[in-house]
């Protein structure tokens, strides 16, 4: 972490270690901390200014899976008039202030963490001690942290998060940097960024009643209505301790949707996972996403974000395998799934 005067401009070359740290932040593996730019995020008292500065520095092959990466300085300035406590990670002699990374999903205009969550998977109380190392940020002090972006980030605004508080605060507050949009140029060296405001019009304008209907099955359908359509399909109960969780499996080789796995939460359809003959090996065909949208019966097409179509009431998640994996599910299903996964990990025994 570099200290500088308020009007200083970052012009040093960050080392490859800083890039690795930033990639860990962006993948949601490593947890750090910083402050807030109150002008951009006015929902709390103005404690710090938290925003990107300078010119992005190109680093060929430094990003995820060998993608290009641009290092960018993120500045944190204490403007509270008193000392603050900044919580981050200490790796050797380096204090890393940045905590996590968010993208704004244009489907719903929501900020999401690394894996598409609207809410942190690990809250402050459950974070590890090495992720909550305190550092005093003196009144008026300016710190500069190493952030950045890669080729995949040019389609949506991004921002960093941090935990910071006054010395008297029992629990710090997660704060957010000014949002910015990477701008790629004709040459890698021409990349820049621009700050963005809160204006956003969601791409998804449909509810669960217009979600894809697969072989007569739609999200929100009651178990009684399902039985009236498929009276001979067996419904099994799973995970009895955590939820009213039931599953059913439909097979019909005479249909394009020849295999359908259905999950019920509280006796309503909460997840549909279909397989289609017509989509086998579709990954390499032109118009892959349009083909998926049409096949599953979306009412109209818009570009998916992070391989998902997200709406307030449902999500269509795609894994673009040779035979694409399609999951159509509700937010309630995701909550129950996370509880089941947490319970499994808690009870996992490693020999």
Tell which wins on pLDDT, 119 or 111: 111
Rounded to the nearest 10°, the torsion over CA 290, 294, 298, 303 is: 0
Burial 286-318, CB ≥16 within 10 A → b, else e: eeeeebbbebbebeeeeebbbebbbbebbbbbb
pLDDT at residue 310 tops 70: yes
- The answer to whether the beta carbons of residues 104 and 157 sit under 8 Å apart is yes
Tell which wins on pLDDT, 281 or 40: 281
pLDDT, tens only, 261-293: 999 999 999 999 999 999 999 888 899 999 999
Q: What's the rounded Cα separation, in Å, for the pair 72 and 57?
A: 7
Task: Report the top-level CATH class of 2-195.
Answer: mainly beta
In this prediction the pTM is 0.80
> H/E element holding 346?
helix 331-346
Query: How do the domains of the chain map onto residue ranges?
Result: 2-195, 208-346
Average pLDDT, the chain: 86
Tokens in use for 310? 């997200």
- Residue 11: band (very low, low, confident or very high) from pLDDT cuts 50, 70, 90: very low
> H/E element holding 289?
helix 288-296
Tell which wins on pLDDT, 63 or 351: 63
Q: What is the pLDDT of residue 1?
A: 44
Instruction: Say what percent of the chain tops pLDDT 90.
Output: 69
Q: What angle do CA 9, 71, 41 make, to 5 degrees?
A: 70
pLDDT at residue 13 tops 70: no
Neighbours of 320 (CB within 10 A): 14
Tokens in use for 93? 């002699």
pLDDT, tens only, 211-249: 999 999 999 999 999 999 999 999 999 877 777 899 999
> Which segment of 28-37, 70-79, 91-100 scores lowest on mean pLDDT?
28-37
**Mean pLDDT within 82-89:** 96
Q: What is the pLDDT of residue 218?
A: 98
Q: What is the pLDDT of residue 349?
A: 67
**Mean pLDDT within 122-139:** 94
pLDDT at residue 9 tops 50: no
């Amino acid at each position: 972490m570099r200290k500088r005067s308020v009007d200083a401009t970052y012009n040093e070359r960050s080392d490859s270690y800083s890039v690795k740290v930033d990639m860990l932040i962006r993948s949601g593996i490593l947890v750090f901390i910083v402050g807030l730019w109150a002008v951009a995020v006015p929902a709390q008292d103005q404690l710090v200014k938290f925003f990107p500065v300078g010119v992005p520095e190109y680093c060929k092959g430094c990003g995820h899976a060998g993608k290009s990466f641009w290092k960018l300085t993120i500045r944190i300035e204490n403007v509270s008039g008193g000392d603050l406590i900044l919580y981050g990670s200490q790796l050797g002699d380096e204090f890393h202030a940045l905590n996590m990374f968010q993208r704004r999903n244009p489907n719903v205009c929501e900020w999401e963490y690394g894996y598409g969550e609207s809410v942190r998977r690990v809250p402050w109380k459950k974070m590890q001690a090495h992720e909550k190392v305190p550092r005093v940020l003196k009144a008026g002090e300016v710190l500069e942290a190493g952030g950045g972006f890669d080729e995949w980030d040019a389609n949506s605004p991004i921002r960093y998060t941090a935990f910071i508080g006054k010395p008297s605060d029992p629990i710090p507050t997660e704060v957010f940097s000014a949002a910015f949009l990477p701008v790629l140029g004709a040459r890698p060296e021409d990349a820049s960024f621009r700050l963005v405001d809160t204006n956003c019009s969601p791409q998804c304008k449909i509810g669960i009643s217009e979600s894809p209907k697969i072989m007569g099955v739609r999200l929100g359908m009651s178990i009684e209505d399902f039985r009236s359509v498929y009276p001979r399909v067996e419904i099994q109960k799973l995970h009895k301790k955590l939820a009213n969780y039931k599953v059913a499996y439909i097979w019909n080789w005479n249909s394009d949707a020849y295999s359908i796995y259905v999950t019920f939460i509280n006796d309503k359809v909460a997840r549909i996972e279909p397989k289609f003959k017509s989509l086998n090996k579709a990954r390499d065909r032109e118009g892959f996403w349009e083909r998926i949208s049409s096949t599953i019966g979306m009412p109209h097409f818009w570009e998916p974000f992070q391989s998902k179509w997200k709406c307030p009431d449902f999500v269509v998640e795609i894994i673009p395998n040779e035979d694409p994996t399609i999951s159509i599910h509700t937010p309630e299903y995701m909550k129950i799934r996370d509880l089941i996964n947490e319970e499994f990990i808690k009870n996992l025994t490693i020999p």
